[in-house]
Structure 1
Amino acid sequence: MKTILHKADTRGNANHGWLKSRHTFSFANYHDAERMNFGALRVLNDDMVSENQGFGTHPHRDMEIISIPLEGDLKHQDNMGNETVIKEGDIQVMSAGTGVMHSEYNNNPDKPVKFLQIWVVPNKQNVKPRYDQITLQKSDRKNKLQQILSPNEDDAGVWIHQNAWFNMTNLDTDQSVNYTVNDPQINGVYAFILKGDVTINGQALHERDGLGIWDTETLDIKADSDTEILLMEVPMTM
């Protein structure tokens, strides 16, 4: 088993006034040659957008982009004709493929929106751009794993062009779950602790810590307090 630990306070820090963001991997003005990616997981941004502010229209291509709102609402518009609002409990995915333009805004006048912006390098280039979002029941991850993303259109959650699986869990204190890696010969798992304290394969982790694990078949996860965890299984090579 191999691991890499990223403590919460070692992440890149960006403060643009209207946008506050912590970057697990190199992004924009934050660059660390030792923290470019975890396999196909290229971006993990922990964003907070102020009231009545947002990202103007901008382009993407050849990237799988996943947004997970944690608090508040975020309005999305794109040149594929989508105009939607994503909120806590939703999962949004956009396959940028040959190119897409989109914008994201916090239309709420009295509270910020917090969300995770995640980029995964796809296993196919120049695909037709697409958009999808779903609403999940958070109760379905209470003391168990809830799959939110996979490579398969017919599986639970959204799907992307990559051999990747994402799961979330909310564990009560002293509760445990085991995660079995879908493709242990190729994939690793990046665990991001959204809330609380947890021990994964013997490593103690705290809020907003990240732990990458590979060359293993299972993760043993035990909550040391009430906790919320995002597990991102991705290929270790691109």
Structure 2
Amino acid sequence: MIRLITDSQRYEAKVGEGLRSHYLFSFADYYDPENMEFGPLRVFNDDYISPRSGFPSHPHSELEIITIVLAGELTHKDNIGNETKVTPGLVQRMTSGTGITHSETNETDEEVHLLQLWFLPNKRGLAPSYEVMDVDFIKAKNELVPLVTGQKVLEDVVYINSNSTVYYGSVTQGEEITFRTFKLRRTLIYVLTGSVLVNNVEADGHDQIRLDEQEVIGIRGTADATFILVDVPAVEANY
């Protein structure tokens, strides 16, 4: 099954001054019982944070939180001693585990654009932990760059406690990338810029395609495009 969800079908959050956000799944004041999660992927938000604004200190537990900054500089601070400036090319993972408190703010004079993905972990009761890695994905061209994985088949990638992998993809007009997976897994593609043809389904900027029971996924650029591809199990084991 292949399902296209267009830009206009995304939920536009009304958060207040300093933050613009779109939610791909039910989150905060947006609730749709038919759009709660995608395998262990529970949250996928596309956020813009204005200068001198952001998310003040708040708690999390039992989540794997991935932050991908596409533009600007995000300051992360937490109660286990981490303070990091996250910029494009860096990928951040926070295991909230039994409990962590953190803040995410824009302390600069330029807007920050980021993606944040929350996964349900494959193990509960983990100690809180944090990792940030320079993956240098921004320069990708006609390839899929793995950003985070818990499948233990990739090296030099941020580790996540989920049997999932997140890729950054880039494809130029007329070129094609082939992604191979298994029928027992699910794939989500979120187009950042440009447009692509995914198994003969056209998707433009901010559209998403959700695929089930597809072993081979062809992604052709109908214009120069960038996108996020998330490969997940249908059900996360051990949760």
TM surpasses 0.5: yes
Contact (CA 8 Å) 1:153, 1:159: kept in 2 or not?
Answer: no
Q: Which residue of 2 aligns with 1:214?
A: 212
Q: Which residue of 2 aligns with 1:163?
A: 163
Q: Which residue of 1 aligns with 2:124?
A: 125
CA offset at residue 12 of structure 1? 1.1
Q: Answer yes or no: is 1:74 the counterpart of 2:106.
A: no
SS in 1 for 2:143: coil
CA offset at residue 153 of structure 1? 8.8
CA offset at residue 216 of structure 1? 1.5
The letter of the residue matching 2:160 is: I
SS in 2 for 1:9: helix
Give the direction of change, closer, same or farther, for the CA distance of 1:7–1:53 in structure 2 (3 Å limit): same
Contact (CA 8 Å) 1:6, 1:24: kept in 2 or not?
Answer: no
- CA–CA distance in 1 between the matches of 2:66 and 2:103? 14
The letter of the residue matching 1:5 is: L
1:131-188 residue CA offsets vs partner (Å, 9 max, x unmatched): 001112236621111111111396232111111111112111111110111xx14311
Q: Which residue of 2 aligns with 1:227?
A: 225
Q: Which residue of 2 aligns with 1:180?
A: 180
TM-score by length of 2: 0.94
- CA–CA distance in 2 between the matches of 1:120 and 1:138? 21
Q: Give the fraction of aligned pairs with identical amino acids, expressed as a percent.
A: 33
Q: Which residue of 2 aligns with 1:145?
A: 144
The letter of the residue matching 2:208 is: G
Q: Which residue of 2 aligns with 1:24?
A: 24
Q: Which residue of 1 aligns with 2:12?
A: 13
Give 4+ residue runs of structure 1 displaced > 6 Å after superposition: none
Aligned length: 234
- CA–CA distance in 2 between the matches of 1:210 and 1:227? 13
Give ranges in structure 1 of 5+ residues lacking alignment: none
Give the direction of change, closer, same or farther, for the CA distance of 1:154–1:232 in structure 2 (3 Å limit): closer
Give ranges in structure 2 of 5+ residues lacking alignment: none
CA offset at residue 26 of structure 1? 0.5
